[in-house]
Amino acid sequence: MAEEETKREPREVDTGVIPAEFREGGGLRTMTATVVSAKAPCSCGICTKSKIKAKRLHIELKPTNQPKWKNQNEWFGLSDADDSAFFALVERLRKIGVACPAGKNIGEVIAAMGEAEWAEEEKIGRTQSAVWMPQRLL
């Protein structure tokens, strides 16, 4: 996922052929991955050089079942709005059994998750076309 707020350009596909990256349930791509780092707010080189200055959660994922993929990065603006991607992430973590106690840093919670299945999902509380969201712990 690109750091800047850009939309993925649609690609032309053969008539009647479902692209391989589509999956049942609406996800675009899936992977199993371990968390390399999760920091909120983040002060890594990418985040400090970014034009976006809002405080964000930065998650770096290492795909374990996609050997040709590079690490995947995802950013969530830190927000308590119930229609935000960050709120959706916390709710998803709780749904799959990850304890998210009030007062705990979300970066620490995610960094301790271990391996999980992640899927790209369309437009969850944001203008970007897709966001990596955890689906289940492995």
122 vs 98: CA distance, rounded Å: 22
User: Residues in the chain with pLDDT < 70?
Assistant: 1-27, 123-129
Asked if the structure places residue 14 within a domain, the reply is no
Asked if the structure places residue 39 within a domain, the reply is yes
Asked if the structure places residue 61 within a domain, the reply is yes
Residue 8: per-residue pLDDT: 47
Residue 5: per-residue pLDDT: 44
Asked if the structure places residue 21 within a domain, the reply is no
Q: How many CB atoms lie within 10 A of CB 10?
A: 7
Cα–Cα nearest to 98, from 1, 107, 71, 77: 107
- Cβ-contact 94, 100 below 8 angstroms: yes
Q: Which residues pair with 37 in a beta bridge?
A: 60
Asked if the structure places residue 112 within a domain, the reply is yes
Using the Cα atoms of residue 125, residue 118, residue 2 and residue 78 in order, give the sign of their dihedral.
positive
**Segments forming the whole domain that contains residue 93:** 30-137
Domain count, the chain: 1
Tell me the per-residue pLDDT of 35-50, one tens digit each, with 9 for 90 and over. 999 998 888 888 888 8
Asked if the structure places residue 13 within a domain, the reply is no
Asked if the structure places residue 75 within a domain, the reply is yes
Residue 17: per-residue pLDDT: 52
Asked if the structure places residue 7 within a domain, the reply is no
Q: What are phi and psi of 133, to 5 degrees?
A: -130, 140
Using the Cα atoms of residue 124, residue 125, residue 128 and residue 131 in order, give the sign of their dihedral.
negative
